[in-house]
Amino acid sequence: MKKIVVLTGAGISAESGLKTFRDSNGLWENYKIEDVATPQAWKADPEMVLEFYNQRRLQASKALPNQAHFSLAGLEKYFSVTIVTQNVDNLHERAGSSKVIHLHGELTKARSSKNPSLIYKINDKKIEIGDHCDDGHQLRPHIVWFGEDVPLVSEVIPYFQRADIAIVVGTSLSVYPASGLIDYIPLNADCYYIDPSAKENMSNINFKLISKKAEIGVKELVGKLKQFLIKE
């Protein structure tokens, strides 16, 4: 069975109604990135940071997977699929994808503010000041903030190295280290980039560009991949 690796970004979630910093010039409902999504913000005003992510968690819980999520999940009938997402919602899982790796963390989890390995499933519950974990420290969102290391990058590199097919969806490829993952894809792999700004964002000549929104572009590509499989 051929191996597919999919790298997804904010664009695929935006089509389910989830707002992004990318779409609003660094502002999200009047929050600045540096005020809510950095270690410095957490140190300066943890209550505001928690409120921001409590709002995001609630919004994400109400959002529904869109056709792009369902189309990617449907690929598992024909291929070995690994989804590597920069998104912190669980829309891929709710659409039926069974192997999803979240590079930047997950809204539905909390972790110790001192020990990153102490992680707890909270689903759509709020995190409040005074909510402590087993080590006695304040809980924080299980999110990789700007300026923090992305520990799962080394774990996902082999999926790109072994890919027969690589699909990039809804990301501007401007955030490192996620943007560097495409450099590990074999030269003989079939590569596709789906984004309305595909021509502006992608300089890698190995990628076939699909300048469409995720819902339309993914559905079309999945249909073609199934046809290729039948012909083989």
Active site residues: 104
Decide if 228 contacts 208 (C-beta within 8 A). Answer: no
Q: How far from the centroid of its chain's Cα atoms is residue 26's Cα?
A: 18
The CA-based dihedral angle spanning residues 143, 146, 149, 154, taken in that order and rounded to the nearest 10 degrees = 80
Instruction: Record the tokens describing residue 83, joined without a space.
Output: 């989804």
E strands, 79-125, in order: 80-85, 100-102, 105-112, 119-121
DSSP 16: T
Decide if 29 contacts 95 (C-beta within 8 A). Answer: no
Bond before 196 cis per omega within 30 degrees = no
